[in-house]
Structure 1
C-alpha cells in the first residue's frame, strides 16, 4: 500500500493521510490484509469522487482519518475497511449488496450498522436522531466494531466542526456530549471520551471554554512550583520504601472542571485546588503498598478513598483513588494503578484489538474480561430495546444507563450488585432478575424491613421479599433509576393491559353473541377468519384487544359474525341495539375498566359504561351530567352493573359546609376515621369568617358505607350541610 501512496502526487491532503495510514498498518498487519484495505480505499475514493466537505477538502479525507484513528487502536482489517467505506451507502450510489459482493458480508454489515436511516417517517428531528441511534445500537449488539467506527467517525467530525453553521455545530456538540462521550466512557475508552468532551464543550459553550482555558493557564503558572514540590516528595518517599513507580502530574479536563463547578455550584478556585497525580506500578499488590506510603506522607481526607481495584467500575476501570491534604493545606487527588490498568482505562473495549496479538496471558485475560463486561452491557441494552415502546423511550432509557454513579450492595449470599447512585429496592430486585422485580413487595436491608422506594447506599445487604400475587405498580416509575427496571416495568404494564383488554373484549363479544343465540367457540373458524380478513386484523386476540380498548364496538362485531355474508355492511334498525343484559364489573379489573373521576361511582350506584378508544370502558354514575350527551349515541355506551361480591375501597367525593372554627377539620377527619374510612384529599372551595365549604375525597366500601358516614357527619353541630358530588 505504501507503493500506492508513493505513486501518487503527494500534494493533496488525502495522499499524506494515506501514507500515515500505511505506515501505521504495516506495524501490525500482513501484506494480504493491507492489500484488501487498499481495495477498499480505492473503491471508497472512486465512490466519493467529486464530493467535498464543508472545509473544501476532498470527502475521502474523512474516511481515511477515521481509519487512522482505528489503526492507532490496532483495529483488525475488516474494521479498517469498514471505516474507509462507512459513508458510501449513505452518500453514494453504492449498496450493502455491492459491498457484500466486493468485500464480504461482514464488512457490509459493519458499514450498514454505522449508516443512518435515510428515509424515516418521523414527526421531528429528535425522533429521526433517536431512530438512528437505536439502529446503531442494534448493530452494535451484534458487533462491537460498529460503535468503534462510529466513535472514530464522530471524533473526526468534532475535530473538523469549524466550517459548520453555528446552529448545526451546537446540535452536533450536544449530541456528542449527551450520547457519544458517555458511550465511550461506558466502554472504558477514556482517551476518546476526553477528546469528545473537550471538543463538544468548546463547540457548545465557546465563551465558557475560553474563560476556563485562560483561568487554567494562569493557575498553571502560579502553581507550578507547588506541583513540583508535591511530585518530588512522592517520588522520594516511594524510593525510600523501595518501590519503583512512575509519578506523573495530571491536568484536569476542562469539561470535567466545568461539570464539577456546575454540579457542586462552586468557583473555579475550589475545583482547581485539587492537584491531580497518577502513580503507575507493576503489580496490584504494589498499588496498596503505595497507598500506605502516600497516606503516611500526607493526611488522607476521611470518606474520600475509593477502591476500584477490588470493586471495578461497570466499564472495567480499575484504580485506587484517594484525596490527601498536601503542603499549604491544598487537597491532592492521587490515582494509583498498574501499567496494564492504565492502558485498559485509556483503551477500554478497544484493548480487545490492541492486545490481540500479545502473548501475555494476564493482559489477554484482562481484555477478555473487559469485552465480557461490554457484551453484558449490550445484552442489557438489547433487553431494554425489546421492551421500549418507541425510539424516544429507548433514548431516555439509554441516557439513564449512560450516567451511573455507582453504589455497591450485597445479596444475602454475599454477591455484589452494582447500581447507580439513587437506586432503590426495586432497581436492586430487577438487577437480580426480572421475575424478582415483577413480584417484589418489600425488602429487608441489613435485616430491617424497609419499603420499596428506599434508596440504597454502599455496603448494605439487601434481601427482596416476593409473593406470587404481586405485580409491578405504575408508581414505581416515579422512583426507579436504572434503565432495566424502567423498561421492564413498562413492558410488563403494557403486556398486562393488553391481556386485560383481550379478556374484557372476549366478555363483551360473548355477551352480545349470547343475545343472538350464538357462542364464540361454536362459530365456524372459516367465518371468524373471513371477519379478520375483512377487518384487516392479524389475529382474534388483536380483534378482542380492540374491542376491550373501545376501538371496535362489540355489538357491531357480533352482528357481522351472525351474518352469512361477513363482508356486507352492518345495518341497524332504529330500535336495534346490543343485548339488554348488563356487563358485570367489580371495579378492580385494572387499566381497561376505569372509574370516572367526575362522578366517582361506587358499588351500589346505578352505573353506565362508555367506550373510550384506546382506554377501554370508563364507568360513570347514572346521574352524571357528563354522560348525558354520550348516552344519545347508542353504539357508544353499554349497561353495566356492580358484581354482588365486589370488595375493596373506592374513592367518593362529598361537599360539606362547616362552621369556620378552629379544629373543625380535625373533628371531621376523626369522625371519618372512626367510620373505617380514610381521607384521600381535601380542597377548600370557599371560605369566609363564618362558613367553610370543602370538597373531601374519602374511601368507602360501597353506597351503604358512604350513607352511614354522611349520616354520622350530619349529627355534628359544626356541619351545616353535606351532599355527595355526582358530577
Structure 2
C-alpha cells in the first residue's frame, strides 16, 4: 500500500525538506481527524487524501496544494473548523481546504437551483485561488478510480457529472492527463459493455499492427536524426471515449478509426519544431488542409503544437504532432505546469501564460455571474463556455482573438470589451463592411465601428454564440428596460397626481417614505419601475400618496387635469410598445393600455382589439409629441391588375417617397387580379397619405386600403 513515506520520497525530487515536513504534518493531522472512518471499499479513509496528494505530486504542485489535498475532507467530515486549520497550517491552506469543501455534490443534469448556486461557489473559490479547482480535480479523479464499491445507478450519476463538468474544466485548463483519464473512467461507468468491447478491440488492433507502427516510427526517427536534429518520436494512443465518439458522431467503423497511425515528436526548441515539420513533409506527402499551427496561435487553454496529417506507405494516414518538451509538459499539465516550473525555482513564459489565461477565464466567469439573472442562467452560460471549438481572428492592431466555432461579429465585439459590444453599430471584415450577424472564419481581420448612443438589440440573442456576449446583452437589455420603465412610471404617476394639484417632486420625503411602507416597496425606483411595467396602477399609488400627505385629502380632485393625455414620442424604448394589430402612426388618435410586465401598449383609438377600454386605471388618453423623428410600420392592402414588373414599380414609388418596404406579399386572386400586402416604414399619417396617393394614381390599381386590424 502507498504510504506517506513513499510520497515524501517522491516529493524530495522537487520540494525542500522543510516543505515536505509540513506535508507530512498535514497527513498525520488528517489521519487523526479521520480516525475510525472508512471508505466504502473498507480501507481507512485517510488513504483517499493521501492518493489525492500523490496525483498532485505527479504534477509537481506546491506544498500548500498538497497540504490542502491531505486536509480537504477534514472540515466537511470531522469536527475541525476552518479557524482551527488556519491556526495549525496557515491561512492560505485553510482557504484552499474551505474552497474545496464547498465544491461537493455539484449535479448538472437536472439543473436544480441549489446545485447551480453550488457551482457559483466554485467560481468564487477559483477566483480567490485557482489551485482550488486543481485539488478538486485530483479529488474527483481518485473518486472515479475507486467507483467500484458503489451502486450502478450512483456510479452512472457521478460519471455523468464528471463528464459534464469536471472533465471539461480540466480540458479548459489544459490538464489533459486528468481530462483523458476522467473521460475514460466516466465512459467505463456509463457504458461498461461498450467500453470493454472497444478496449479489447484496441488491444487486438495494436497487436496486429505493432510491426507496421514500429516501421513508421523507425523511419520518422531516422529522418530526424539524418538531418542532425534533436527529436524523439513516440507512438500516440487514442483513448477509449475519443474512439467511441468518432464511431458514433462520424459514423465510422472501428477499423477505419484505428487505421490512422498517431505519432508525437518531442524536440528542444521552437525552431527545431518547424525544421522537423519540413523533414516529415519531405518524407511523406501532407494531406491538404490538415496542417494546424498551434505554436504561432495557441489554443485558449495554452496548448501549443504543430499538427499535420501525412499519406504514409500504401496510402496509410499518419497523424504527427511536433512540440518542445515545455509544450509537452503544458499539454499534459496545463495550468498545473505553472507550479511545475515554479517548483524548480524557474519561471517559464508558456507556463506563466497558461496561468494568466486561466485567471482571465475565471475573471470572465465572474463577470458572467454578475450579469446573469439567476444561477440557472449562469450555468447555461458556463456550459456554452466549456465547449470551445476555436477559430482565430485578428484586431486591426494584429492582436489574435480566440472565439468558438460559429461566432459572429457581435461575439467578437464583446470579446474585445463589453462596452464595445454594447455600442457597436457596424463592422469591417478585411476592410469590407459586413453585417453584425456574419459568422467569422479563422484568419479574418475585424474592425468594430461604435456609436456613443447605440444600444444592444434583442435580435442579437438569436445569433450570438459566446456565453460572454449572451450574458452581457441580456444584462444590458434588463438595465435598459429598467431605466425606461422608471422614466415611464414617473410620467404615469405625475399624470395621476395632477388632478390633486401636486407631483412626485413636490411631495415631502417623509410622506413618500411613509407611503412606501404602506405600499410595501423598497424604494422610489422600484415603485416607478413597477408602474412603468404595468404591474401597479398609477391612480391607486397617487391616492395613497395624497392620503398620507397632510392637507391633501384625496377628494380634492382638479377635474381639469384629470384627463390630460400622456405625451409620447416613439423613442421611449422597450416599455412603450406599438400594437401590431392596428399599427398606430403619428397623426392618429391614440390611447394607451397598461399590460402586465410589458409596460404601455399604444393602440389607435378605434382599434377593436383593445381590452379593458372602460377601465381608467389601465386605459388612458395619449397624444403624440410635436418632435418625432422615428419610422413606424404600417400595412397597406393593394388590389391590382397582375402584370410583369408591377412589384418593381411599387417599390420604386415607395422609395421615391422616402419610405422603406419592410415586407411584401402577393396573393393571386385569379389570372388577372392580385392582392399585394405591403408593410412600410413611414414617418406618420401625412407621409402615408402622400404614398397612398402616388400608388392610387397607378393605372392598374383598383383599390388601396390601410389595414386597421
1:595 aligns with 2:572: no
The separation in 2 between residues aligned to 1:17 and 1:681, in whole angstroms, is: 76
| Range 585-594 or range 402-411, more displaced | 402-411
Residue 436 of structure 2 corresponds to 452
The separation in 1 between residues aligned to 2:94 and 2:535, in whole angstroms, is: 43
Question: Match of 2:179, SS?
Answer: helix
The separation in 2 between residues aligned to 1:169 and 1:231, in whole angstroms, is: 40
1:700 aligns with 2:700: no
Task: After TM superposition, give the deviation of residue 279 of structure 1 in Å.
Answer: 0.8
Residue 11 of structure 1 corresponds to none
Residue 502 of structure 1 corresponds to 486
| Range 331-340 or range 499-508, more displaced | 499-508
| Range 437-446 or range 89-98, more displaced | 89-98
Residue 359 of structure 2 corresponds to 375
| Range 601-610 or range 210-219, more displaced | 210-219
Structure 1 segment 338-417 matched on structure 2, within 5 A:
338-359=324-345, 361=346, 363-417=347-401
Question: Match of 1:408, SS?
Answer: strand
1:642 aligns with 2:624: yes
The separation in 1 between residues aligned to 2:667 and 2:145, in whole angstroms, is: 62
- Provide closer, same or farther for how the CA distance between residues 377 and 49 of structure 1 changes in structure 2, counting only shifts above 3 A: same
- The one of 220, 227, 231 equivalent to 1:241 is 227
Residue 416 of structure 2 corresponds to 432
- Provide closer, same or farther for how the CA distance between residues 60 and 694 of structure 1 changes in structure 2, counting only shifts above 3 A: farther
Q: Contact (CA 8 Å) 1:231, 1:249: kept in 2 or not?
A: yes
- The one of 305, 310, 313 equivalent to 1:324 is 310
- Provide closer, same or farther for how the CA distance between residues 355 and 119 of structure 1 changes in structure 2, counting only shifts above 3 A: closer
The separation in 1 between residues aligned to 2:308 and 2:660, in whole angstroms, is: 53
- The one of 311, 314, 321 equivalent to 2:300 is 314
The separation in 2 between residues aligned to 1:378 and 1:303, in whole angstroms, is: 34
Q: Contact (CA 8 Å) 2:499, 2:559: kept in 1 or not?
A: no
Post-superposition Cα deviations, 1:350-383, rounded to whole Å, max 9, x if no partner, equal: 1232232314x4x544322221221122222222
Task: After TM superposition, give the deviation of residue 345 of structure 1 in Å.
Answer: 1.2
- The one of 494, 507, 519 equivalent to 1:523 is 507
| Range 138-147 or range 390-399, more displaced | 390-399
Residue 6 of structure 1 corresponds to none
Q: Contact (CA 8 Å) 1:37, 1:81: kept in 2 or not?
A: yes
Task: After TM superposition, give the deviation of residue 146 of structure 1 in Å.
Answer: 1.2
1:581 aligns with 2:564: yes
Question: Match of 2:362, SS?
Answer: helix
Post-superposition Cα deviations, 1:26-79, rounded to whole Å, max 9, x if no partner, equal: 655566655655565566556656665555555554434323322332333432
- The one of 36, 57, 74 equivalent to 1:71 is 57
- The one of 579, 595, 600 equivalent to 1:612 is 595
Question: Match of 1:699, SS?
Answer: strand
Task: After TM superposition, give the deviation of residue 429 of structure 1 in Å.
Answer: 2.2
- The one of 273, 290, 295 equivalent to 1:287 is 273
The separation in 2 between residues aligned to 1:663 and 1:190, in whole angstroms, is: 63
- Provide closer, same or farther for how the CA distance between residues 105 and 687 of structure 1 changes in structure 2, counting only shifts above 3 A: farther
TM-score by length of 2: 0.89
1:549 aligns with 2:537: no
The separation in 1 between residues aligned to 2:703 and 2:102, in whole angstroms, is: 67
| Range 607-616 or range 495-504, more displaced | 607-616
Q: Contact (CA 8 Å) 1:595, 1:601: kept in 2 or not?
A: yes
The separation in 2 between residues aligned to 1:639 and 1:407, in whole angstroms, is: 54
| Range 553-562 or range 580-589, more displaced | 553-562
The separation in 1 between residues aligned to 2:384 and 2:405, in whole angstroms, is: 11
The separation in 2 between residues aligned to 1:67 and 1:548, in whole angstroms, is: 58
| Range 263-272 or range 670-679, more displaced | 670-679
The separation in 2 between residues aligned to 1:130 and 1:684, in whole angstroms, is: 50
Task: After TM superposition, give the deviation of residue 540 of structure 1 in Å.
Answer: 2.4
Task: After TM superposition, give the deviation of residue 184 of structure 1 in Å.
Answer: 0.9
Q: Contact (CA 8 Å) 1:99, 1:108: kept in 2 or not?
A: yes
- The one of 210, 214, 232 equivalent to 1:228 is 214
Specify every segment of 5 or more residues in structure 1 that has no aligned partner in the other structure, as ranges. Answer: 1-14
Residue 142 of structure 2 corresponds to 156
The separation in 2 between residues aligned to 1:526 and 1:119, in whole angstroms, is: 49
- The one of 201, 204, 214 equivalent to 2:190 is 204
Q: Contact (CA 8 Å) 1:358, 1:364: kept in 2 or not?
A: no
Task: After TM superposition, give the deviation of residue 402 of structure 1 in Å.
Answer: 1.9
Task: After TM superposition, give the deviation of residue 331 of structure 1 in Å.
Answer: 1.4
Question: Match of 2:592, SS?
Answer: strand
TM-score by length of 1: 0.87
Post-superposition Cα deviations, 1:317-350, rounded to whole Å, max 9, x if no partner, equal: 1211111111111111111111121112111111
Q: Contact (CA 8 Å) 2:507, 2:549: kept in 1 or not?
A: no
Residue 605 of structure 2 corresponds to 622
| Range 58-67 or range 539-548, more displaced | 58-67
- Provide closer, same or farther for how the CA distance between residues 476 and 125 of structure 1 changes in structure 2, counting only shifts above 3 A: closer
Q: Contact (CA 8 Å) 1:20, 1:68: kept in 2 or not?
A: no
The separation in 1 between residues aligned to 2:561 and 2:65, in whole angstroms, is: 65
The separation in 2 between residues aligned to 1:346 and 1:590, in whole angstroms, is: 52
- Provide closer, same or farther for how the CA distance between residues 410 and 667 of structure 1 changes in structure 2, counting only shifts above 3 A: closer
Q: Contact (CA 8 Å) 2:692, 2:704: kept in 1 or not?
A: yes
Q: Contact (CA 8 Å) 1:577, 1:635: kept in 2 or not?
A: no
The separation in 2 between residues aligned to 1:606 and 1:723, in whole angstroms, is: 18
Question: Match of 1:355, SS?
Answer: helix
The separation in 2 between residues aligned to 1:200 and 1:123, in whole angstroms, is: 15
1:475 aligns with 2:456: no
Residue 302 of structure 1 corresponds to 288
Task: After TM superposition, give the deviation of residue 554 of structure 1 in Å.
Answer: 2.4
